[in-house]
Amino acid sequence: AKAMMSIQAVKGVEIGDGFACVKARGSAFVDPILPEGFASNHAGGVLGGISTGQTIRVRIALKPTSSIRKPRPTITTEGEPVEIITKGRHDPCVGIRAVPIAEAMLAIVLADHFLRQQVATIESILRRRL
């Protein structure tokens, strides 16, 4: 969630069922473990910060772009009211560009955790040998 919130325009992060879980009863939200694996994936592949081995499901909420051509009220550095009009090229929707950015951010986080685990394993082996 921290990494996703660092992406510009992100205002919310859901993992798994996310905010919808507040409407559910505990008995409906549980992901039972069966011999063939989990029966559901309400947790989005993460329980207690640890991967369950299921598909990781993350959704982000993006704020609308504020750089629009429509005049908006603001104030000057002296506190005087003025209107501002943003000029230039602007994206009407940042969501289109946000998808590959969020996917890349999640890949970076997963790679970081994988590498940390590899280092911890190597350190453990070296300590036993020395």
Per DSSP, the residues of the chain read -HHHHTSTTEEEEEETTGGGGGGS-HHHH---EETTEES--TTTTEETTEE-SS---EEEEEPPP---SS-EEEE-TTS-EEEE---S---S-SHHHHHHHHHHHHHHHHHHHHHHHHHHHHHHHHHHH-
pLDDT score for 111 = 96
| Within-domain flag for 126 | no
| Within-domain flag for 32 | yes
pLDDT tens for each residue of 27-79: 888 889 999 989 999 999 998 888 899 999 999 999 988 777 889 999 999 99
| Within-domain flag for 128 | no
The answer to whether residues 76 and 84 touch, using CB atoms and an 8 Å cutoff, is: no
List the domain range (segments joined by +) for residue 6. Answer: 2-98
pLDDT tier, 86 (very low <50, low <70, confident <90, very high otherwise) = confident
| Within-domain flag for 69 | yes
pLDDT tier, 90 (very low <50, low <70, confident <90, very high otherwise) = confident
| Within-domain flag for 42 | yes
> How many domains does the chain divide into?
1
pTM value? Answer: 0.75
| Within-domain flag for 11 | yes
| Within-domain flag for 118 | no
| Within-domain flag for 84 | yes
